[in-house]
Amino acid sequence: VLRRIMRRGMRHAHLLGARDPLMHRLVPVLVAEMGGAFPELRRAEASIVEWLKLEETNFRRTLERGLRLLDEETRTLPAGGALPGETAFRLYDTFGFPLDLTQDALRAQGRAVDTAGFEAAMERQRAEARRHWKGSGEASVEALWFDLRERLGGTEFLGYATEEADARVLAIVVDGAEVRRAEAGATIGFVVNQTPFYGESGGQIGDTGRATGEHCRLRVTDTLKKLGDLWVHRAVVEEGTLEVGTALHLEVEGERRAALRRAHTATHLLHAALRRRLGDHVAQKGSLVAPDRLRFDFAQPRPPTAEDIAHVEAEVNFFLRRNEECAVRVMARDEAVEAGAMALFGEKYGDEVRVVTVGRDAGGRTYSMELCGGTHVGRAGDIALFKITGESAVASGVRRIEALTGEAALAHVADEERLLDEAAGLLKVPPGELPQRLRTMLDDRRRMEHELADLRRRLATGGGGTGEAGSRKVGTIAFTGRTIEGLPAKELRSAADALRKEMAEGGVVALVAVNDGKAALVVSVSDTLEGKIDAVALVRAGVAAVGGKGGGGRPDFAQGGGPDGDRADEALAAIEQAISEAVAA
């Protein structure tokens, strides 16, 4: 709703002639007026300004694109005619142009929108989405989880204190249907009364491990948490028969769980480090916690600099070296929020919550404090190493950091060192001298490429000779046509212009460069032939001969290309024929 209100104001600013973002300039006035009642406005003033500026910049692009399409559509309508609902929906669906803005824009023209048609188009899209969802079988499976939860109650999770436990099978699901038993080889989902397996939630993926009974053995491949407290274990029955009521001994894969703990605690430290470096506007927008690997999406209007990323990585590793305790407390939600704990994106919390704290800063304040139901290391040093491997954009105002921890981070660093040593060995320099050696090599390459291009141009123009050497008459017009192997396409124009200037009385130059079996063509025509010879028509004749289509430019210069470089001579012949026909016309 807030965005719609802002966008309406932005559109009116646009109508009044504002061409640059301006709404962010109102923020200081708002803060001065309301900051006393809402102190968070003062704390976040800089980030609010940044976000508003980004929002208006992005919306202006949407607005200009949408208004162009709207203008094109209304030209074909009768005076006062309503805009078809399908068109309004296309503006909304394809360009993100809201219906109310479309209505506002048309109101000034005395037009309306066929809202019934818009709603019908919207409903068709929803129905199609529902059809695909139901067709996938997910709807019936989800209904089954509701039924099981109502009938069996929730699963007791024991995984904070232990990685193995005894349990009893309460339900077995195969291919979306509840069954009483499953034989060896079956892929199943099963529900037990209690489990040490962590079910995927809060970004942390589910545990894997083993389940054994008196007459069966299962490999647990994933664990899901449904409806808040129903744990579903995905598994393969490797031996025997599993039946409802079977007693099982459940064992979590310990090394994998340890790797998940490392990645999850590192995610908390990363979040805190980003907020310290970039500002309190940084907020989690999504995450993935996998064994010794994490992905963290966060609100940030501008790309972090390389220095920002290096600083964040160093700060996280600083806390790992200090090896401070990762403490977990259960407390009332209101008390946790009052203490400054941050909530994770997309999570729902009860009246009691787990609060995970890690480290203290130089001022003695808690470094990281978050509400979290995931599993964590006992001390920060257990993570061993934190290594950022990538930073990118995932949406407007949302950035993503990918990182490794523990053994995966150590392996990554070892691989990078090996590659560095290999590169240094190839260039016969110590690793520390690699950057300077590469800069020197790149400078040498650019110089040689320039010299080679100059040599090719001189070869293409006959070694720099003068006069009309190599040209012939087509009717009354001088024509030079050449095929040049290996001349880059970008060098063709300068070569053609040089050849044309050598023609004392003017004429036509056609060059075909063949690279990797493909042909690039240019045609240059003297000003003296304006109105008689059209370079575009000539180049299209040549392009057709080498299997291409089109070709374009101006009457005095045109270019094109085709896939069949072996027919370069045919292209020149076709151009010469086109000149002959133009002369005879």
Q: Is residue 427 part of a domain?
A: no
Question: How crowded is residue 438: how many other Cβ atoms within 10 Å of its Cβ?
Answer: 13
Alpha-carbon distance of 188 to 233, in angstroms, equals: 8
Alpha-carbon distance of 398 to 392, in angstroms, equals: 9
Q: Which of 218, 252, 286 is the last residue of a domain?
A: 252
CATH of the domain at 148: 2.40.30.130
Instruction: Read off the pTM.
Output: 0.69
Q: How far is CA 514 from CA 11, 452, 509, in A?
A: 52, 16, 17
> CA torsion sign, 217 to 222 to 226 to 229?
positive
- pLDDT confidence of residue 459: 67
Does residue 404 share a domain with residue 264?
A: yes
Q: What is the mean pLDDT of the chain?
A: 89
Taking a C-beta distance cutoff of 8 angstroms, is the pair 500, 506 a contact? yes
Model confidence at 131, pLDDT cuts 50, 70, 90, reads: low
Bigger pLDDT: 30 vs 16: 30
Alpha-carbon distance of 204 to 287, in angstroms, equals: 8
In sequence order, the 6+-apart residues with CB closer than 8 A to the CB of 543 are 521, 549, 550, 551, 560, 561, 562, 571
Q: Is residue 448 part of a domain?
A: no
Q: How many residues does the chain have?
A: 585
Query: Beta partners for 165?
Result: 250
Tell me which residue of 236, 241, 154, 250 sits closest to 197, measured CA to CA: 250
Least confident interval from 119-128, 206-215, 263-272: 119-128
Token couple for 412: 């990554």
Does residue 322 share a domain with residue 307?
A: yes
Q: Total domain count for the chain?
A: 4
Taking a C-beta distance cutoff of 8 angstroms, is the pair 461, 502 a contact? yes
Does residue 270 share a domain with residue 402?
A: yes
Per-residue pLDDT, averaged over 515-543, amounts to 92
Model confidence at 132, pLDDT cuts 50, 70, 90, reads: low
Model confidence at 375, pLDDT cuts 50, 70, 90, reads: very high
Tell me which residue of 525, 545, 546 sits closest to 536, measured CA to CA: 525
Does residue 470 share a domain with residue 557?
A: yes
Taking a C-beta distance cutoff of 8 angstroms, is the pair 259, 407 a contact? yes
- pLDDT confidence of residue 134: 52
H-only helix segments in 484-566? 492-501, 535-545
- pLDDT confidence of residue 469: 41
H or E segment to which residue 510 belongs: strand 508-515
Report the range out of 8-22, 204-218, 450-464 with the highest average pLDDT. 204-218
Quote the percentage of the chain above a pLDDT of 70: 95
- pLDDT confidence of residue 344: 62
At 364, give phi and psi (nearest 5°): 85, 5
- pLDDT confidence of residue 46: 78
Taking a C-beta distance cutoff of 8 angstroms, is the pair 463, 455 a contact? no
Does residue 273 share a domain with residue 365?
A: yes
CA atoms within 13 A on the CB side of 86: 1
Alpha-carbon distance of 436 to 424, in angstroms, equals: 12
- pLDDT confidence of residue 465: 37
Alpha-carbon distance of 251 to 27, in angstroms, equals: 56
Alpha-carbon distance of 301 to 175, in angstroms, equals: 44
Residue with tokens 């209505």: 103
Query: Beta partners for 327?
Result: 357
Written as one string, the DSSP assignment of 49-100 is: HHHHHHHHHHHHHHHHHHHHHHHHHHHTSPTTPPBPHHHHHHHHHHH---HH
Q: Which of 378, 413, 448 is the last residue of a domain?
A: 413
Does residue 385 share a domain with residue 329?
A: yes
Q: Is residue 269 part of a domain?
A: yes
Q: Which of 252, 279, 313 is the last residue of a domain?
A: 252
Tell me which residue of 25, 50, 373 sits closest to 203, measured CA to CA: 373
Alpha-carbon distance of 28 to 313, in angstroms, equals: 34
Written as one string, the DSSP assignment of 431-472 is: GGGHHHHHHHHHHHHHHHHHHHHHHHHHHHTTTT--TTTT-E
Q: Is residue 436 part of a domain?
A: no
Model confidence at 41, pLDDT cuts 50, 70, 90, reads: confident
Token couple for 220: 């647990």
Does residue 408 share a domain with residue 271?
A: yes
Taking a C-beta distance cutoff of 8 angstroms, is the pair 480, 470 a contact? yes
Bigger pLDDT: 258 vs 134: 258
Q: Is residue 539 part of a domain?
A: yes
Token couple for 196: 């040490």
Q: Is the pLDDT of residue 247 over 80?
A: yes
- pLDDT confidence of residue 462: 64
Per-residue pLDDT, averaged over 237-246, amounts to 96
Does residue 98 share a domain with residue 179?
A: no
Does residue 175 share a domain with residue 40?
A: no
Per-residue pLDDT, averaged over 427-446, amounts to 94
Tell me the residue range of the domain where 367 lies.
260-413
- pLDDT confidence of residue 138: 56
At 290-339, the pLDDT tens digits run 999 999 999 998 999 999 999 999 999 999 999 999 999 999 988 988 88
Q: Is residue 97 part of a domain?
A: yes
At 486-505, the pLDDT tens digits run 788 888 888 888 888 888 77
Tell me which residue of 51, 50, 58 sits closest to 96, measured CA to CA: 58
Alpha-carbon distance of 320 to 203, in angstroms, equals: 22
Bigger pLDDT: 18 vs 228: 228
Q: Is residue 229 part of a domain?
A: yes
Does residue 152 share a domain with residue 99?
A: no
Model confidence at 394, pLDDT cuts 50, 70, 90, reads: very high
CATH of the domain at 363: 3.30.980.10
Does residue 147 share a domain with residue 114?
A: no
CATH of the domain at 516: 3.10.310.40
Model confidence at 137, pLDDT cuts 50, 70, 90, reads: low
Q: How far apart are the first and last CA of the chain?
A: 67
Does residue 409 share a domain with residue 266?
A: yes
Q: Is residue 347 part of a domain?
A: yes
Model confidence at 372, pLDDT cuts 50, 70, 90, reads: very high
At 523, give phi and psi (nearest 5°): -130, 125
